[in-house]
Amino acid sequence: MIIDSTGAAAPCCYWGAYENLNSPVGNVKEQSIEEIWNGPAYQKLRAGMARGDLAAAGCAKCHAVRQGMSLGFDYDSDADDDTETPHGRNIAVLKDEIARGATVLEAKPTIISYTPSHRCNIRCTHCYQESTRDAEIKRADAADEIERLAPYLVRLIAGGGEPFLLPIWRRFLANFDTRKNPYLDFGTSTNATIVTEPVLTGLRRFKNMTINVSLDGTGEAYERVRVGAKFDEVRANIRLLKEVVKAAPSPKANIGISMCVMKSNILDLPNLVRFARDEILQFGMSPVITKPPDESLRCFNDPARDMAGWADAIDAAKAELDSYFPSLAAVWHAQIVPEETQETWRGLFEVLRAQIPFDLADVPHRRVTLDIPDELMVRAVAAHGAAPLVAYIFPQGATDGVSYWGPIKDGRCEVSLPDGTFSIGVSTKWDATVGDGGTFHIGDQQLDEAPPIALQVATSRYTPRRVAAGVMRRARRMLDRVTAG
Ligand SMILES: C[S@@+](CC[C@H](N)C(=O)[O-])C[C@H]1O[C@@H](n2cnc3c(N)ncnc32)[C@H](O)[C@@H]1O
Ligand code: SF4
């Protein structure tokens, strides 16, 4: 069960993602985990699964299946012979109930991912949690419930914010009695800036652990993204964590690094592969493709300038794989990485490349200055106060999800655009809901006209009359204060 910081629960990470747009199955702010576990949504899911009817279960478009992941029941097979611990008994009961197609289970959940809060000690430039930093599950006994269920679990995934900063996970690492569940896999994704002795001592008590260190590049590129973290310190902490993982009794215990690939660090990709090679670590990559616009690989201020060097960096990183594979084999305790698997790894860079609209760099663009209409600015300031504002610019009729953006200064925004008709919204870099500011057209100007061209954006939908008078007055006062300051 995946529980996010709003308390919403889902049976897996992909339940409400990609094309699998199911609603949450409950909310731990209002219900206990056990109520949700045997609630109507879970019963429906199990009934569908038992009939082999993935569509009825809500899993017709399962992203995990499409990625070729196995949906088998993954647990520590040592627990098969264990009738003494709650964990061993729970596995036996669960297997029996699955075989019988039960929809209400006596067995407890086996995987819980719990994100109680978005609190963090650093500020990453791409972090989608920035707009919800105060999000917190405040039902006090939700944490107790997690601790009560831990003896039964196969895997507990400690979410954040920064997990090693959060009291619930510090307490858990210090106090959980691993004799109650010697099989528990403690999983987390961390920024590895708070790897204190209590954290290390706590981790050492677990037989199995799965640790992901988010490492968005190396050296300066890393510090550009992970604002407040120091690369050298984090590298030292990764080495400490590696020692703990190496000493863990389970051969499945593992630590890896993952890089969110974005504008600020894409040129550093080859260095990340070299780092993984030298430190003997498995690495993963995920592109930043939605918000924020200044880091997204699919949102541009000036496509040719923004994408300069990206293709070469991907090529160079891919070429570095040959020197990386011996390290990967060592991580897997194998002699070599089979040729077929090597191809899969090369393919990861093609998956990344496919996310980037490289062809756009060849389309003629011209530098324009957009005069953002006053009423649009007023509404944005009313909504976001003194936060820096950006313009979101969407080509009309485009279906490829590629868009433009620009920071707004003095009510103006500079951006390079091709001919076409665009809609515009003004918001902060974190705001997913972008206010609609109307449309404008580019194409009547001469291409050789000296840039930037000042364009008056015509607001089509919103006029001051349609904004409540009180909001307008408050917004104007704020706008005056911001401009004066
Ligand atoms: C929100 S963090 C929480 C855990 C921990 N603080 C960390 O950094 O690993 C979880 C993961 O989400 C990734 N992430 C944050 N913002 C993202 C974005 N806009 N797009 C893709 N991944 C993002 C982070 O890089 C990190 O790997
Ligand atoms: S460390 Fe994790 S939670 Fe904190 S800002 Fe970075 S990505 Fe977000």
Mark out the alpha helices in 280-320 (DSSP H runs).
303-306, 310-319
The residue whose C-alpha atom lies closest to atom 17 belonging to ligand 1 is: 127
Contact (Cβ atoms closer than 8 angstroms) between residue 189 and residue 219: no
Chain-centroid distance of CA 330 in Å reads 28
C-alpha torsion sign, points 89, 95, 97, 102: positive
Cβ(428)–Cβ(390) below 8 Å: yes
Alpha-carbon span 262 to 288, nearest angstrom: 5
Ligand 1 neighbour 133 (Cβ under 6 A): no
State residue 322's pLDDT score: 98
Tell me how far the alpha carbon of residue 271 lies from the centroid of ligand 1, in angstroms.
Answer: 20
Which tens digits make up the pLDDT trace of 440-478? 777 655 444 444 455 555 443 333 333 334 434 444 444
Task: Encode pLDDT of 253-298 as tens digits.
Answer: 999 999 999 999 999 999 999 999 999 999 999 999 988 999 999 9
**26: its two tokens:** 């409950």
Which residue type sits at 373? P
Q: Of all atoms in ligand 1, which is nearest to the CA of residue 162?
A: 6
Residue type at 233 in one-letter notation: E
First CA to last CA across the chain, in angstroms? 48
Measured by CA distance, the residue closest to atom 5 of ligand 1 is 190
User: CA-CA distances (angstroms) from residue 216 to 34, 317, 383?
Assistant: 37, 14, 31
List, in sequence order, every residue forming a beta bridge with 456; answer none if it has no partner: 371
Res. 135 pLDDT band, cuts 50 70 90: confident
pLDDT at residue number 472: 40
Give CA angle at 434 (392, 58), nearest 5°: 115
Task: Look at residues 229, 241, 233 and name the one whose alpha carbon lies nearest to residue 281.
Answer: 241
> Looking up tokens 């001469």, which residue turns up?
446
Ligand 1: residue of 125, 132, 189 to mutate (most ligand atoms within 8 A of CB) is: 189
- Expressed in angstroms and rounded, the spacing between residue 209 Cα and the centre of ligand 1 is 19
Sign of the torsion angle spanned by Cα atoms 101, 104, 109, 115 = positive
Ligand 2 pocket mutation, candidates 117, 121, 122, 224, criterion most atoms within 8 A of CB: 122
Element (H, E) at 442: strand 435-442
Which residue has the CA at smallest separation from atom 3 of ligand 2? 161
Residue carrying structure tokens 């936060």: 387
- Ligand 1 contacts CB of residue 395 (under 6 A): no
More confident residue, 81 or 390: 390
Q: What is the pLDDT of residue 470?
A: 41
What distance in angstroms lies between residue 156's CA and the mean position of ligand 1's atoms?
A: 18
User: Cα(356)–Cα(378) distance, rounded to whole angstroms?
Assistant: 34
> Does residue 411 come out as left (phi exceeding 0), alpha (psi in the -120 to 50 range) or beta?
left
- Predicted pLDDT of residue 305: 97
Q: How far is CA 404 from the centre of its chain?
A: 22
Residue where the block lists tokens 């593992």:
254
Report the alpha-carbon distance of residue 33 to residue 140 in Å, rounded: 13
Residue 373 in tokens: 């209409």
What is the position in ligand 1's atom list of the atom closest to the CA of 189? 9
Task: Look over the chain and give the mean of its residue pLDDT values, rounded to a whole number.
Answer: 88
From the CA of 256, how far away is ligand 2's center (Å)?
A: 17
In Å, the largest CA–CA distance within the chain is: 81
CA-CA distance, 406 to 394, in Å (whole number)? 12
List, for residues 34-63, the tens digit of each pLDDT value: 999 999 999 999 999 999 998 899 888 787
Atom of ligand 2 nearest to the CA of 126: 7
Q: Is the pLDDT of residue 481 over 70?
A: no
The one-letter code for the residue type at 275 is F
What is the reported pLDDT for 435?
65
Predicted structure pTM score: 0.89
Atom of ligand 1 nearest to the CA of 288: 20
**In angstroms, what is the span from residue 278 Cα to ligand 1's centroid?**
24
CA–CA gap between residue 92 and residue 362 (Å, rounded): 60
What is the per-residue pLDDT for 97?
Answer: 95
Instruction: Enumerate the β-bridge partners of residue 27.
Output: 8
The protein residue whose alpha carbon is closest to atom 6 in ligand 2 is 124
Query: Ligand 1 centre from 127 Cα, in Å?
Result: 6
Q: Is 190 touching ligand 1 by the criterion CB < 6 Å? A: yes
Do β-strands 254-261 and 208-214 pair in parallel, antiparallel, or remain unpaired? parallel
Cα 414 from chain centroid? 29
Angle at 184 between CA 201 and CA 139, to 5 degrees: 85
Which DSSP letter does residue 249 get? S
According to DSSP, residue 136 is labeled B
Is a pLDDT exceeding 60 seen at residue 219? yes
Probe target for ligand 1 pocket from 128, 164, 222, 238, with the most ligand atoms within 8 Å of CB:
128
Residue minimizing CA distance to atom 8 of ligand 2? 127
Within 6 A (CB) of ligand 2 lie 120, 122-124, 127, 129, 160-162, 191, 214
What order do you get walking across the sheet with 208-214 strand by strand? 26-27, 8-10, 2-3, 111-114, 155-158, 185-190, 208-214, 254-261, 282-287
Closest to 353 in 3D by CA, of 300, 401, 317, 388: 317
